[in-house]
Amino acid sequence: MKIAVIQMVSGSDVQVNLQHARGLLEAAANQGAELAVLPEYFCLMGQTDADKLAIGEPFGRGPLQKFLSSSARDLGLWVVGGTLPLTDGSPSEGGTGKVASDRVSNSSLVFSPDGNCVARYNKIHLFRFDNGRERYDESLVLTAGQDPVFFDLPSQDGHTWRIGLSVCYDLRFAELYRAYAHAGAHLLLVPSAFTYTTGHDHWEVLLRARAIENLAFVAAAAQGGLHDNQRRTWGHAMTIDPWGKLLGQLDTGEGVVVTDLDFANLMACRNRLPALQHRVLGLN
């Protein structure tokens, strides 16, 4: 199965971000991808964390979800919409676009080529970091998800791929990916906006670890560069095979990494090292 992980340098103008995202999705489709993954916060890297609240949408309607749906349908792609802010409430009155709630979910939505949303994953683990120079606390504006979510993709290669969803900081919590492995996942997605500081030291090693320990492909879309809010993200969107080998990577800047995932390679890795069958703890 041919997939594309997309790297962006999103800013504070939603419409500009959507234009860039559409162009990158078109590039993925033109290169023959069946599945394209946008990065976390593809639609907005705001000046403040609270900017997410102003573009929050109820699940099932809104311009951001319409964009993802129409892109999937127009391009004949499975599209994973990185993340976008969703609220369980309704937009406030007066046409401001702001939501009534002071929290939104950081949600990854999956759209099939017919434009239907087939899966929603709410980011479970909320990032907090403070090294004295940089400070982040997603819990100030986000509400955490509770459940792992996977979906099945019947590929043109004749196989049905089971795909586990996760987002950015989730990458540090191996038990989430082990749950996907236990459910039979073949591919793990990690749309992200890793900070430059943490990404420099931890990004690749964590992605490769998740691939190796679960004998699964890993595909990580990313934000990668200096944003107009002066935040710098690490980038290095990449795909990794079940043996931990790097298949494709883009260091920084906008672009698309297109990779062929070989189901036979996946099964060969699992057959020669049947570690998933040797698990003793955490099986219930």
Contact between 22 and 73 under an 8 Å Cβ cutoff? The reply is no
Active site residue 117: no
Annotated catalytic residue, options 34, 43, 123, 269: 123
| DSSP secondary structure of 30-70 | HTT-SEEEPPTTTT---SSTTHHHHT-EETT-SHHHHHHHH
34 catalytic? Reply is no
Say which of 34, 43, 168, 254 is annotated catalytic: 168
Q: Mention every residue, 6+ apart, whose C-beta is less than 8 A from residue 30.
A: none
The verdict on whether 269 is a catalytic residue reads: no
| From 40, 57, 138, 254, the catalytic residue | 40
CA–CA gap between residue 64 and residue 33 (Å, rounded):
22
What is the C-alpha separation between 193 and 8, in angstroms, rounded? Answer: 9
Tell me the catalytic residues.
40, 123, 168
